[in-house]
Structures are given as structure tokens and as C-alpha cells.
Structure 1
Amino acid sequence: MRLASAKVGPFRSISRSQSIAIDPSITVLVGMNEAGKTVFLKALHKARDALEIEKYLILDDYPRKDLASYRKRHQINPDTAVILTYELSKDDIAEVNNELNTNISEGYNFEVYHQYDNQISLDIKVDETPVLAAMTTLEGLSNEAIEILKDSQTVRQAYERLQSISLLTEGEQTLIERIKTSLDKAKDLSGWDMITALEIWHLIYSKIPQFLYFSDYDLLPGKLNLNDLKRRQTLATTNPANEAKQIEPKHQAILALLRMADVDLEDFSSGPGYDQLKSQIESVSINLTDRVLEFWKQNEDIEIEVDIRPDPSDAAPFNDGPNLYLRIKNKKHRGVSTSFDQRSRGFIWFFSFLVWFDSIQYQLGLVGKASEKKQILLLDEPALALHALAQKDFLNYIDQLSVNHQVIYTTHSPFMVHADRLHQVRVVEDKGDEGTIISENLSGSNARTIFPLQAALGWNIAQNLFIAKHNLLVEGVSELALLQTMSKIIEDHGEKGLNSSITIMPVGGINNIATFISLLNGNGLNLAVLYDYNGTPDQKIDSMIKSKILSKKSVFNASQFRDHEAPGENTIASDLEDLLEPILYLEYFNSAFRKELGETIVLEPDLPPGDRIIQRIEKYLLKNKITLRPTPGYNHYSVIIAITMNPPKHVSPALIKRFSELFKYINQALK
């Protein structure tokens, strides 16, 4: 089961309810500081906290401008803070169908409404006729009962009608009792006309994923007094209302480490000896160190050292009983160790996260909460203090986490975004009076908001400029995005896409190709060129071929693949976009500029004749005096980004053939 979408609001700065699609693996919230990224995470966290600590509090969570009017109706008509839509997996569906005789299909989903009184309501829709049909096969039913089951639309309706039978058989009495048992479970729930829906809920409830939230406040300290921690824990137990004041995040972090080592605070006064306690904690630390070094590539000569000892000469509270010390030993410098909290902020964060996550897994497993569930990880500005390359290491770790857990994280760092996975990005903006707005539409977002995405793309290009062995030079980012998207699409259709070893490099126009080749050629790299064709050979390209700077076999233009039956030969003037059908391109054009076009929908018959779809559209806009930007024409990249964000689900065999031939030629040239 996975979270398919979340409808959040009203909640804090999210003034109005808005639904956001959640990626099956990783969802990235990108936005400026104070835009509302954390607000979205906290709304989800409070809906279904895995540790059952977080709850909705109207004074803290309801939008302040509407709080006074809402408080008057909160007790009798609480608002909904979050609506979570879950989609069942194939295994879940098979289990439900087998257990309940339903006939739900792939993609089945249901909604859970989380209200400000911390109660939930459900919206589970199911066709009960297959369930009734299965009941007709039960033994001991009369013809009258079978006809009632066949004519009924719901199990509740059948139950009421079955009771009208004057003389019930033993089989009918058993069936009525069975239905009554289900009805009794729903008697305190209003609106449960569909008994099978309630049975589905009871069957899948234990598998619904819960949320785990981690932020920069949950860091491990370098040392902590264990007697002080024990006192705080006692005060928190006797007065739960003040628990947050007594048990701060640093205390939670140490408790997490102790839980993983199977050590209780009582053990330090009346349990095993010093050596056993230390060895238990060190065992966990060694395991965590190994896990850190699996992804931490900045310095692989470090070890975690844990010590437990008193220090009467220290200042209070560290002079009272045993202290737990965390130190980092550097093998490169003859084992010199430093206090954990004196290490780099990035390392402290990374190690603290691993302790937190592993301890949460241990804690949930210990109480039986995690037996069938997978958590959804909410990471608030993860790895912000890490070096750019270390952030990339952490992205790899997130990829590993996403195999078993959906991950939703916030960032404004360009190094925490996969440039080739923009479909996972949701932009978060503060719209003033409108409050926080979360959207999947990158092209319509504020330039400052999407700057990390632009920087991520630029950084990806810049780093590949020096390390890629196989490079395909194209004119601009539109070509890069379209080629990446189409490669994925044709692979999904069983054809060969662009080799993963090939780096697509936008050079800013055909005039820059010669400059880039001059820069790259000396590095012994393999190069190919793909450019738009205006109907005549390009003199600069021809000159590089004649000078043997480029091989003719590694130079391609879009026109050579327009006719999928005869690839490789120059044909009519063509841009890369002309490998798409005009009707498909126009569909995304109309979508990308829906706001600017108003009620106008541009169709192919409306366009003037011509060979290139872009030129035809620009002539149409000029003729009809339609302005889509301050300068004539339109932003071609907006159309391509719309295709990238929402790839077509159905494409023609001819389109697949055109791009598969294009990738075949390029792969061969850069073998």
C-alpha cells in the first residue's frame, strides 16, 4: 500500500485545501525559506504519527486569521485538516478479493479524513454485488433467499430483506448472523451503508503506512548526564503535560541510542556492570559506523567511540553520576579523538539521522507496530550542512530508503534534486493573502522558487562536462529534457533507449558547438552532435567534419529520423520537436499556456502550412496577435517541461520507431 495523494488545509499557512500527488518512491518539496514546506510535512506527521505522539491542536495548527470563528464550531463540527488517499498494492488487492469475495481492480484507492478533533472518517467505495453473488453459493439457502441476494445491491439491503422470509433455513440463519456481526461493528459509525467497505478497512488497517518526521533539531549531543536524563524521564512520566519541556530532542536522541543497545537507564544504577553496558552500546555504534561509511565518502578513516564514566570535577549536571560521551576517532591522525559535537555539522546530522531512523525501527518493532507496516519518511531540509558531493551521497541513501519506504523531503539546495527526476518535484510558494500554495506546475512558478531546479540542471551539466566519457551535444535544455523523457517512454514500450553512459550536454545553440568540442576534444572524450536542421547543411558542422574535428558518423540532425522508414538521410527542415506528432505537441502546448491562451485551443488545422511545428505555431500567434511572452513567439522549454512532468501514456508506433532509430544511431556512434 502506498500514499497516492494528500489534500492538506486549512492548516497553518495553508489557508485553503489543496491536493498534492505523492510520488510512489520520492517526493521533493522545493521552495524558498518560510514558503511553507515544513508546514506540509507537519500536517502529514500529525495525521498519522508512527510514535502516536503528535496531535492536531487548533491553537497551533488552525490558520490564525480564521481561528476565532472556527473555535465556535470546533466541538460540534470539526474541520478536516488532511485527507490522505491510499492506493492498494497488487498483493493487498488479491488478499481483499480472496478474503471478502470482492472484485476490486488494480489502482483501487480509498480516502481517510483526519479532523481537528483527532478523529478520522473514511471514504471507501466498493461494489458489493460480487460479494452477494458469492453468498448465493452458500449451502442451505432456499430459492427465495438466493433471489433476494441476486436482486439486492448492498449487503445491508439483502440483510433486511432476508429477515422477511417466513421460515428461515439453518443456512439462512447462519448467513444473517454473519451479516449481523459485521453490522454490529458499524453500529457506532454513521454512513456505513457498505458493510464490505468496513470489512476492507479492518482487513487493511494494519498495513496503512505511518509517518516519521526528522528535522535538524533531533541531533545527538557530544555528552549527556544519565542521572539527569533519568530524572527528566521520571518527571515526564508523572506529568505528561510537561513532557516536551523535560525531554528535549537531544534527550530523545540519546534514549534512541540506548534503546538500540537494549540498555535501560535503570541499568546504570542496579543492572549489569560497566563493561557489559559499554560493550552493548559500542556494538550498536560499530554497526552504525559501518552504515555511515557506506554512504559517507568525505572521510572514511573515522570511528565512533562511546564511553560511560563519571566526572565529579565537571560542572552540573555532569558532576552527578555517569555521563555518556560520544567521540570521533580519526585513524588518519594516529587515532586522535574529538568530541562528537565538535565535528562538522554535516557529519553530526548524518550520524544522528541514522541513529534516529534505526532506533525508530527498533522501537516500533519492539512493540509490534511495524510488523506489516512501512513508514513514510518526512525529512525536513535533510543534509543541509553537508558538502555538495556529500549531499549527492545522501541522495543515494534516500534512494535506498525509498525501496521500502516512501520518502517526502524538503530542500532549497540544488544538490538535493535529481535533475533527471523533475516529475518528483513539487514547488512550494508563499502567495501572500492566498497563503502557501503547493504545485506540480514548474513552468508557472516564480523564478526564485524554481532556482534550485535550474541550478541542479546547470550543476549536472557542469560536472558531466569533465567526467563523462560519452557526450551528446545538443543545442539547448529543451532537447536534453525531451531526449531523456522519450528515452524512458520507449524503454517502457520495450525498445532500447539512450545508453545510460551517454551524457546529454546543452551548449546554448549550434554556434557554440565548435567551442565546446574544442574544450572537450583534448580530454579524449567520445563526442556526437544532434542539431536542428533548417533545410540546408550547416557550414560550421561541415567545416568540422572536413577538418576531422568531428566524424561524419557522429553528427546527426532531427530531419534524419522524421521518416522512420528511412532513417539516417537528410529530409525536410526539422526540429527535434517534429519527431512528435503535431497533435501530441499541440496538446502539451495548450496545457503549458492554458492561462495565457484563455479559452483559445490551438488545433493543427488552425496552423499555417509548413515543415516545422514550432515555426507554424509562432506564425499562428503572430497572425492572431496572441502574446505569450514580451518577445514574439513562445518559450519552447515550457512545452517540453510539461511533457517531462506528465509524459504521454499512449504514443503511436511511428513515434516509438522514430526515437528508437535516433537512439540506435547515437548509441552506435558513442559505443
Structure 2
Amino acid sequence: MIYKEFTIENFKGVDKVNVSLDKDELVLLLGLNESGKTTILKGIETFDYLNDLSKDYDNNFFRTIRKKSDVSSDTPAMITALIGLEEILEIKDYQGIFERGLLNKNKKDNVEAFFHFLNNEKKVKIQRVIPFKGGNPKQYYYQFISDHPFAEDQFSRILAKEMVHRCPFIIYFEDFKDRIPEKIFTSKTNDAFNVDWYDIIDGLFYNTDKEFSVANFKKLYSRSNRRERDAKTVLKRVNKTLNTSFSEKWKELSGVKDIEETELTYNIPKSYFEISITDTDGTTYAVDERSKGALWYLSFLMKTEFRRKKLRVNSGKPIFLIDEPASNLHSTAQQNMISDFKKLVEDTSVVYSTHSQYLISLDNIKTTYIIERNKGVVKSTLWSDYIKEDKSNETYYQPLANVLKIIPNSLTIPWNKAIITEGPSDRKVLSTMYKILFPEQIPDFVIYPGTSAQNLETLISFNLAWSADFRVMLDSDKEGKRAKEKYLKNFDLGEELVILLPIDNKKIEGYFNEDEKKELYKISFGKEKEERVNKKEFSSMFSILNSHPEKLDVASKAIGEETIFRFKGLFSALEITQN
């Protein structure tokens, strides 16, 4: 099963918000502090009852999720998940609910008929309902949202909850509250006992061997039957699991490249674990001595990989909800983190929130939601809809700066060469082709995408004011030629500053033949394309290529000599030089 979409209703300040996970890309919730980003992430987390804690905690938490303005609310909070079915639902996999007496066996035929219906639909919609009475939370339940008659049967709620138990896990990661403690105590009576991190270490033991646990490990040190050698063997195996996971999935990420090894040690007299980190130069550090970036990744690894209660074997693609990731790191580290997230989404879904301009992924801009709060109500708008409402004409990405209230200053003005393009698609193609043609070169230019050929005045004005070395690149069609005449006249520019594509009456997608487009489509999406590649698909495949360096070498072999010659001519016309 795989989560496709969440709908959150009547949850704190949210009336109704949708978040789609239908594409294998990063999903970004972008907005200022207190705009409601965390509320949406917590709403998604709340869908899964296995994320609930103690009953007392749940009651207190559930009270906080009703509308604050309605102290006597009878309106339920609802979180609905659209779940794709990648495998056939079979009654034999749900035998337990009949054997445990949760569902009467005479309901088997009803369940089988319902499964047959869902298997044809290849999806199921399940809603968690948290009712309120006079402002107090009542017993929650799950229900199917379906036209099938069984969905109206009160016993279907039991099946709905059982199905949620088999769904991919959802893990919420809060940056500043999820740091690794210096000492992870194992005794619940200790004032410094941290139940979350105890659970993570317990999960690490469990991942090593299902018979392993922290409790059983401690018994190996009991006075009545002390087995220190066995304890050391267990701990060695646990550390092997930790470092294997670390090496296989995480070591290539930018934030952990200096880490050679991590080690879990146990203090016997005081009953606590410690984690140490060894760098590539052989130096060993305690966790509090390492950089914030390295600790962030190690903490993230351990929470997402080893939380025992979250384990669901073969449950499908998990979701990581990352709230304001490492916004306390410097700008370069934040930008590197975007690339790391792109690697993670190969086998997970990642939804993250930020108010930092450095954590915005322009290649995945179409999966960005703008989050705003107006009069206490949280509003979520998908980027493609948001830019239709925004009246900014400076650049295609200017609304992002407007959302975050970013004011350019002398430290952010790009004094390098600037290329102004008609739109984001041209930017992606230029950037990708530069990487393919000159893989060893670091670009000495930036690319600003506008909103259309006729709407580049503000960008040109900015670059003139900055005394930047810039070029404007336009299609060589009628629209581009008219735009060139306008800019030359209005700004008294030299001919060399406004460049039409060298081949007459061409758009940049016309630089590639149909066979090349289909091959690049296959490399990007992993599947064949029989009909022509349309404009939207063309833009999407260059987004993928631009953000996946490992695909570029393969893509370079799919591009013919004529196309390479054309782009070299274009870069020459734009006076983009190579070092």
C-alpha cells in the first residue's frame, strides 16, 4: 500500500487542507513561522493510531486539535488518507480479526465482496474521526469513505482500523526536540529517562535480531547469572546493524561524509547507553562534540530506521514528516540537504516544512504548497494555483520570496553573469545541458526564469541596476522576436545582450528530435514513451534529470551530435565560457 493523498479537516486552525503524495517527489510546505505548517504535519501524523501515546496524553492532545474558538465544539476532527493498493487484498491476510473475535465469521462474505470492489478500484479511502462533545474528545474510530454497501456497516470500522495497522508507517521528525541525548538511560525511574530514545535503541536491538531487546540485554548483567561475554557479543551485533544501515543508506549524504563509524556503548553501573562518532581521520567524539549537521543526520537515521513500535514488515513506502529541518545550519548545508532529501525519496515519501529560502527545491517547485494563516484559518495552496493568484512579474520564482518576505540586499545580489529566460522550462534545459556538456565545470552564471517572453522588464531592470553582466535568451519564434525588439528599444540594449535561439522559429524543445525526447523520457521516468513527448512531460523530465546527477551520464549518451552542436552554439552565443 502507498499513501496518495491526505485531507485534514477541522484540525486546530485547519478547516480543510489537501496534501498530495501522488508523485515520487519531495513535498514542501512553505510559509512563515506560525503559518500552520506544523499543524498540517501533525494532522498527517495523527492519521495513524500507532503514533498515539498514553491514554492521558491522547486525551490532552485530542483536546488541543479541536477549533480553539469553539470551546463547546461538537464538530469532529477528521484525517482522510487516499491509499493506493499495489497488491491484491486477500481475505487470508486478515484472518486474525475473525480468529480474535473482532469480526464475526459470518461477515467473511461481506469482506470478500468489499475486497473485490477495492481491488478493482486499486485504491481505498480511510478516514480517522475524532468526535467531540461539548469540547471534550470522545472515542475515535476509522471508517471507509466508499460507495460500497459494506462501508455503511458498523463492523467495517474494525476492518478499517486493521487496514491502517498494515499501512506504511508515518514518522514525524521535529528538528530541535529530537536531538540524541548524551546519555540514554534504560531505567524508567531515572529522572533523565527518555521514552522515545529508549524506544529507538530498543528498535535497533530488534532490527538486529527479533529476540534482542534492551530488557533482555540488561539481564545478561544480572548478579544471579552474569554473562558479560554474551552481552558484548550482542552489542557487537547491534553496532554492526547500526553501521550497516548507516553505510548502505546514509553515508553518501552530504551531512555525514566525514563520519567513518558510529558506536553504541553501555555503562553498566549507571545503566545508560552512549553514542560515539569516529571521523574519517580516526578521531572519536561524543555526540555533543560533533557538528549540528552530523548529529541531525544520525538522529534522523536512528529515529526513522529503528523505532520499534513503527516497524511494519513489507508495509509499503513510509512517510517522513520533517518539521523545519536543520534550519539552524548554515545556508550551504541547508542547500545540500535538499539533494539528500531527493535521494531519500527514491524509497520513501518526504514531506518537509520550512521558512528558509535555502531549503526550497526549485526542481520540485510543482510539489510545493504555500501555507498561510488568515484570521486564524490555515490555508494551503499548491504552487501552480498560487502563482495564478500572485501578480508578481519579476520572475517565475518571485512569489516564493514574497511568501517569506525576503528583501534582497547587497549580500544577495548575484554579481556573476546572469541568463534571463522566458520561463522555468528553459532554465531547466539550459542547466541540465550545461552539466552534460561540461560535467567538470562549476557554472559561473545564474539563470533567472521569467513568466513569459513579453514579461521580462523587471528582471532586466534589476540586472541593469545591479550592473550585472547579463544576457536575455528568447525563443526565435514571432513572440520572441517581438519581445527582443521591445527590450532593445525600451532599455537601449546592445544586440549582443538579447539573444534569440540561433535556429530560426525555434523553441528550446525543438533542439531535440523526437527519438532523443523519448529516450530522455525513458531515462527520467523509467518507462517507454510511444507517442510524442508533450510540453509538460518535456519540462518534467528535465526537472528529474537536473536533480538526479546519476542519470546525466546515461542521458548524455542519448543525445546526438547535432543536438550537442546546437547547444554548444547556444552557450557560445550567450557568452557562457568554460574555465
In which range does the TM-score fall when normalised by the shorter chain?
A: 0.5 to 0.7
Corresponding residue for residue 286 of structure 1: 243
Corresponding residue for residue 85 of structure 1: 82
Indicate conservation of the 8 Å contact 2:259/2:277, yes or no: no
Corresponding residue for residue 102 of structure 2: none
C-alpha separation in 2, matches of 1:514 and 1:251: 57
C-alpha separation in 2, matches of 1:563 and 1:350: 40
- Displacement of 1:202 in angstroms is 10
The structure-2 alpha-carbon separation of the partners of 1:463 and 1:326, relative to structure 1 and needing over 3 Å to count, comes to farther
TM value normalised by structure 1: 0.54
Indicate conservation of the 8 Å contact 2:415/2:468, yes or no: no
Instruction: Give the 3-state SS of the residue equivalent to 2:313 in structure 1.
Output: coil
Determine which of 255, 259, 275 is the counterpart of 1:326: 275
TM value normalised by structure 2: 0.62
C-alpha separation in 2, matches of 1:383 and 1:565: 41
Indicate conservation of the 8 Å contact 2:48/2:164, yes or no: no
Does structure 1 residue 220 correspond to structure 2 residue 164? no
Does structure 1 residue 505 correspond to structure 2 residue 447? yes
C-alpha separation in 1, matches of 2:484 and 2:336: 46
Determine which of 63, 66, 73 is the counterpart of 1:62: 66
**Can you list the C-alpha shifts for 1:126-164, whole angstroms capped at 9, x where unaligned?**
6xxxxxxxxxxxxxxxxxxxxxxxxxxxxx8xxxxxxxx
- Displacement of 1:124 in angstroms is 1.8
- Displacement of 1:339 in angstroms is 1.9
Instruction: Give the 3-state SS of the residue equivalent to 2:251 in structure 1.
Output: helix
C-alpha separation in 2, matches of 1:563 and 1:343: 47
C-alpha separation in 2, matches of 1:399 and 1:353: 15
Indicate conservation of the 8 Å contact 1:528/1:670, yes or no: no
The structure-2 alpha-carbon separation of the partners of 1:287 and 1:512, relative to structure 1 and needing over 3 Å to count, comes to same
Letter in 2 for 1:219: R
Instruction: Give the 3-state SS of the residue equivalent to 2:363 in structure 1.
Output: coil
Corresponding residue for residue 303 of structure 1: 261
- Displacement of 1:203 in angstroms is 11
The structure-2 alpha-carbon separation of the partners of 1:307 and 1:446, relative to structure 1 and needing over 3 Å to count, comes to farther
Indicate conservation of the 8 Å contact 1:305/1:328, yes or no: yes
Letter in 2 for 1:561: K
Indicate conservation of the 8 Å contact 1:392/1:415, yes or no: yes
Indicate conservation of the 8 Å contact 1:30/1:425, yes or no: yes
Corresponding residue for residue 561 of structure 1: 506
Corresponding residue for residue 129 of structure 2: 115
Corresponding residue for residue 400 of structure 2: 450
- Displacement of 1:437 in angstroms is 1.5
Indicate conservation of the 8 Å contact 1:97/1:104, yes or no: no
- Displacement of 1:359 in angstroms is 0.3
Corresponding residue for residue 149 of structure 1: none
Range with bigger deviation, 531-540 or 265-274: 531-540
C-alpha separation in 2, matches of 1:464 and 1:293: 33
Corresponding residue for residue 533 of structure 1: 481
The structure-2 alpha-carbon separation of the partners of 1:2 and 1:486, relative to structure 1 and needing over 3 Å to count, comes to farther
**Can you list the C-alpha shifts for 1:262-295, whole angstroms capped at 9, x where unaligned?**
4423423336415324423432343355354321
- Residues 398-409 of structure 1 correspond to what in structure 2 (within 5 A)? 398-409=341-352
Corresponding residue for residue 275 of structure 1: 232
Indicate conservation of the 8 Å contact 2:168/2:318, yes or no: yes
- Residues 131-280 of structure 1 correspond to what in structure 2 (within 5 A)? 188-189=154-155, 208-216=167-175, 217-226=177-186, 229-231=187-189, 247-261=194-208, 262-268=212-218, 269-270=221-222, 272-273=227-228, 274-280=231-237
C-alpha separation in 2, matches of 1:215 and 1:225: 21
Letter in 2 for 1:114: R
Does structure 1 residue 428 correspond to structure 2 residue 371? yes
Indicate conservation of the 8 Å contact 1:92/1:204, yes or no: no
Uncovered stretches (5+) of structure 2, i.e. residues with no partner:
92-110, 131-138, 393-397, 438-442, 450-458, 513-534, 541-561, 572-579
Range with bigger deviation, 256-265 or 217-226: 256-265
The structure-2 alpha-carbon separation of the partners of 1:249 and 1:187, relative to structure 1 and needing over 3 Å to count, comes to closer
Corresponding residue for residue 8 of structure 2: 8
Indicate conservation of the 8 Å contact 1:111/1:123, yes or no: yes
Higher strand share: 2
Corresponding residue for residue 39 of structure 1: 39
C-alpha separation in 2, matches of 1:282 and 1:563: 53
**Can you list the C-alpha shifts for 1:413-472, whole angstroms capped at 9, x where unaligned?**
2222211221111111121x242211114334699993388899x99xx99997xxxx9x
Indicate conservation of the 8 Å contact 1:215/1:379, yes or no: yes
Corresponding residue for residue 667 of structure 1: 567
Instruction: Give the 3-state SS of the residue equivalent to 2:362 in structure 1.
Output: coil
Does structure 1 residue 350 correspond to structure 2 residue 277? no
Uncovered stretches (5+) of structure 1, i.e. residues with no partner:
127-155, 157-182, 193-197, 236-244, 311-319, 489-496, 521-526, 568-639, 646-661
- Residues 460-471 of structure 1 correspond to what in structure 2 (within 5 A)? none
C-alpha separation in 1, matches of 2:509 and 2:265: 70
Instruction: Give the 3-state SS of the residue equivalent to 1:43 in structure 2.
Output: helix
C-alpha separation in 2, matches of 1:563 and 1:260: 51
Instruction: Give the 3-state SS of the residue equivalent to 2:481 in structure 1.
Output: coil
Give aligned pairs, total.
449
C-alpha separation in 2, matches of 1:563 and 1:278: 58
- RMSD after superposition: 5.3
Corresponding residue for residue 411 of structure 1: 354
Corresponding residue for residue 423 of structure 2: 480
The structure-2 alpha-carbon separation of the partners of 1:18 and 1:416, relative to structure 1 and needing over 3 Å to count, comes to same
Identity %: 14
- Displacement of 1:41 in angstroms is 1.1
C-alpha separation in 2, matches of 1:259 and 1:4: 30
- Displacement of 1:480 in angstroms is 3.4
Letter in 2 for 1:24: K
C-alpha separation in 1, matches of 2:185 and 2:352: 33
C-alpha separation in 2, matches of 1:62 and 1:250: 29
The structure-2 alpha-carbon separation of the partners of 1:265 and 1:230, relative to structure 1 and needing over 3 Å to count, comes to farther
- Residues 488-503 of structure 1 correspond to what in structure 2 (within 5 A)? 501=436
The structure-2 alpha-carbon separation of the partners of 1:425 and 1:37, relative to structure 1 and needing over 3 Å to count, comes to same
Indicate conservation of the 8 Å contact 2:32/2:355, yes or no: yes
**Can you list the C-alpha shifts for 1:340-364, whole angstroms capped at 9, x where unaligned?**
123222221210110111103x655
Letter in 2 for 1:442: Y
Letter in 2 for 1:84: A
Letter in 1 for 2:361: H
C-alpha separation in 2, matches of 1:214 and 1:500: 34
Letter in 2 for 1:327: S
The structure-2 alpha-carbon separation of the partners of 1:506 and 1:373, relative to structure 1 and needing over 3 Å to count, comes to closer
Corresponding residue for residue 455 of structure 2: none
C-alpha separation in 2, matches of 1:85 and 1:292: 30
C-alpha separation in 1, matches of 2:510 and 2:23: 38
Letter in 2 for 1:338: Y
The structure-2 alpha-carbon separation of the partners of 1:403 and 1:125, relative to structure 1 and needing over 3 Å to count, comes to farther
Letter in 1 for 2:386: L
The structure-2 alpha-carbon separation of the partners of 1:541 and 1:93, relative to structure 1 and needing over 3 Å to count, comes to farther
The structure-2 alpha-carbon separation of the partners of 1:2 and 1:534, relative to structure 1 and needing over 3 Å to count, comes to same
Letter in 2 for 1:18: V
Indicate conservation of the 8 Å contact 1:31/1:412, yes or no: yes
Indicate conservation of the 8 Å contact 1:308/1:322, yes or no: yes
C-alpha separation in 1, matches of 2:50 and 2:502: 54
- Displacement of 1:115 in angstroms is 1.0
